[in-house]
Chain A
Amino acid sequence: MTDAHADSSKYYVPHGSPWPIIAALALFSLMLGAVLYLDGVAPVWILVPGVALLAFMFAGWFSTVVGENQHGVFHFREDRSFRLGMMWFIFSEVMFFAAFFGALFYTRNFSVPWLGGEGAKAMTNFLLWPHYEATWPTNGPGHVGGRVFSAMSPTGVAAINTLVLLTSGLTITIAHHALRAGKRRMLTVFLALTFLLGFTFVGLQAHEYYDAYMHMNLRLTTGIYGSTFFMLTGFHGLHVTIGAIMLLVIWVRVLRGHFTPERHFAFEAVAWYWHFVDVVWLCLFVFVYWL
């Protein structure tokens, strides 16, 4: 108790910081740009200032925090704040994916069978869509996005990508053990392997998307199957990209000699994020590709 007492009395409260307001401005210019772009008032390049400002802000804000850490202003309490913060941030991300998984389960289990006349909805089928038989995958009774399309197979790129991501989960764990054992060389190598696997995943996914658009007639606009497939895997791919960039950043920090076997919150936060991305992928593989 006395330890906690001493720690909390020294809790680090930073003085004024310009980064939050820059972050708010970046988000605002991004959103305003998106509005103008979607309304057809401006070309897509209008998003560039927002993205650039956002990148500048992340670099600046995180360097400030890393610098503070190197100067030893953070102790046990601050470290725990960061940990709890990261945990709950990841939980909010889980809930974001839950909304899209919910949409997938709802359409597969309810709305598509109902359109096919299941349950009390016989008249919906009879009056509105008389020839529609509920199946999955489907692009609906209106064949939105074209009459013929191919569905994604669980044995193609998806299987390879599952292996890639699971392996990366292994390599980052090895890197973590190496960090704790003080084996810096091994840490550097396995951390590098991890982000290389991450970027490999993104590359393979880009290839998969290209294939879908060019050869399978499967697009974002391909009814509910295309919508759920591309939104779920797309948001996941975005998170893998962000995670891989985070891995790259901590790799550079490792090269610069940051992190000790006892204290390496940033490493652990990125590892948690990476495992979260991994778990989401497993759900995707099972529910989007396989079943």
Chain B
Amino acid sequence: MTTTPQAVRRASPRNRRRPATPADPARPLLPGAQPVSLLDPSGAPLPARTDYPEPPGDLLRELYRRMVIGRRFDTQATALTKQGRLAVYPSSRGQEACQVGAVLAVRDTDWVFPTYRESMALVSRGLDPVEVLTLLRGDWHCGYDPAARFTAPQCTPLATQCVHAAGLAYGEAHQGRDTVALAFIGDGATSEGDFHEGINFAAVFKAPVVYFVQNNQYAISVPLSRQTAAPSLAYKGAGYGVPSEQVDGNDPVAVLAVLTRAVEHARAGNGPFLVEAHTYRMEPHTNADDANRYRDGAEVDAWRDRDPIARLEKYLRDRDELDDDGVAAVAAEAEAYAADVRERMNAQPTVDPLSLFDHVYAQPTPQLIEQREQVRAELAAAEQEGDA
């Protein structure tokens, strides 16, 4: 092999400077290799992290309070299905750190885009529990006023809310408001196209959205391994230029810390942020589901040992932020909350068939007016028949 003079020159020590490595533009977008955790499974503190400062004590006590009430609400809602008061209820038991931590990280005037599994998050946000359960009781689709509560209707078509959140956040910024949109989504729904279109639109338009994936390991019966081959759902952010993080979703302190930073990132005008929380759905998909067909009790038990409420309680007790009296007071408040829900849900709601025509359009079409008259006549005839 001959050596050309140029080759010699290139190989000479003087020119053997290491080529400048271009910074990897994807690296800052990637989540940490392990989920962020600030408490160990028992509730003992892990080393503090400068990137995710621990939230203040009063906020953690409030987090604990709302988690306890939230779980009691969730148990009450499941009981209401057994009494036939709710058509169906998708429980989020075991996901309290995510449900409550996320809504504590946003302002009351930030917009939340919940799915059907976020009833606990919504009551934690201060929405009336009876209005939240209206969808599942079945007297209307959405019981609360979304505009007044900055809370979109609970979304049943999977992932579609991801695009709404992008549009709303961009629209708010366009009009000079610093609103952040928080979009809830589950692990299964990250396979839907609208998740990808939503996060991509938010990224391209630098819309202040936090996409919060609660990876509770199952989409009804289908495990995460059938949704993705990615090392973590949080890696899906990098492909869209969106920074992301993964967090231990049963560590309430970490969830609140990570969500707080994600919200700050979005509000500061840096565009969207993606968070994946690793958690577990302790109950079946809904009361109508049989989880024994697709997972065994040992798996559920293992997650019981990571219970988010027990973890935060131990942590707060160890720091003298909480004592027996405090625990008892919160438990009593949760019982009173559940009793109020029970009592108010036991009242039979009144439904007006003629209201079916009221909100299809701002003004009913002539055809709807005709149909309303037809229904009115049907109702009158039925009433007469009943009287006879």
Note whether A and B form a binding pair. no
A interface with B by C-beta (< 8 Å): none
